[in-house]
Amino acid sequence: MDAITALKTRHSVRAFETRPIPKDVLEDIVDCGRLAASAINIQPWEFVVFTTPELLRKVADATDHGKFIAQANACIAVITQSTKYYLEDGSAATENMLVAAHAHGVGTCWVAGDKKPYAPDVCRILGAPEGFKLVSLVALGYPAEDPRKPKRPLADVLHWERY
Ligand SMILES: Cc1cc2nc3c(=O)[nH]c(=O)nc-3n(C[C@H](O)[C@H](O)[C@H](O)COP(=O)(O)O)c2cc1C
């Protein structure tokens, strides 16, 4: 799948097949995350990939709107040092991984991390060092649904030269 097609057809998936995602595919998804743009190229990120049902359940239970993580095949936590642009950097890495996963035929959903009261709990569960930030959780699995969200039309959001 070319990049433009991947970007234009990605959508969130919250129901997954039980079929496992090969390790090299998960590695490639994280590889695309680590290559994201990063302010001053600090790359403050770490990626914790977890696949065991116990851990998926534990993290799912800690969230409010991420209970479906328990049925995912894998989850990637984007955890960063507390740098000035950690949220922008971690978000860029997260979006890269959503698109990369889609190009591999793997469905994903971004589950909020930063700003959520459960963020420190998830960091603790995953053994992150003190002071690190949970930017996002990415649930992954082969799609068992094909939901499409309405998007604002290009003509509504595109402004040439000035607003
Ligand atoms: C910062 C952020 C946090 C999100 N958190 C959640 C979440 O906690 N639970 C969830 O089900 N979806 C979450 N989403 C996914 C959005 O609901 C989804 O991207 C949006 O509805 C648009 O749908 P699409 O991804 O299919 O384009 C989050 C997305 C972003 C960017």
**What pLDDT is stored for residue 103 in this prediction?**
98
- Rounded Cα–Cα distance for residues 134 and 128 (Å): 9
Average pLDDT, integer, range 76-85: 98
Average pLDDT, integer, range 66-73: 98
Mean pLDDT of the chain: 98
Could you tell me the distance, in angstroms and rounded to a whole number, from the CA of residue 138 to the centre of ligand 1? 10
Ligand 1 is surrounded, with C-beta below 6 A, by: 11-12, 14, 65-66, 109-112, 149
Give the global pTM: 0.98
Confidence band of 78 (pLDDT split at 50, 70, 90): very high
Probe residue for ligand 1, chosen from 109, 140, 146, 149 as the CB with the greatest number of ligand atoms within 8 Å:
109
The candidate with the shortest Cα–Cα distance to 48, out of 132, 142, 117, 143, is: 132
**What pLDDT is stored for residue 147 in this prediction?**
85
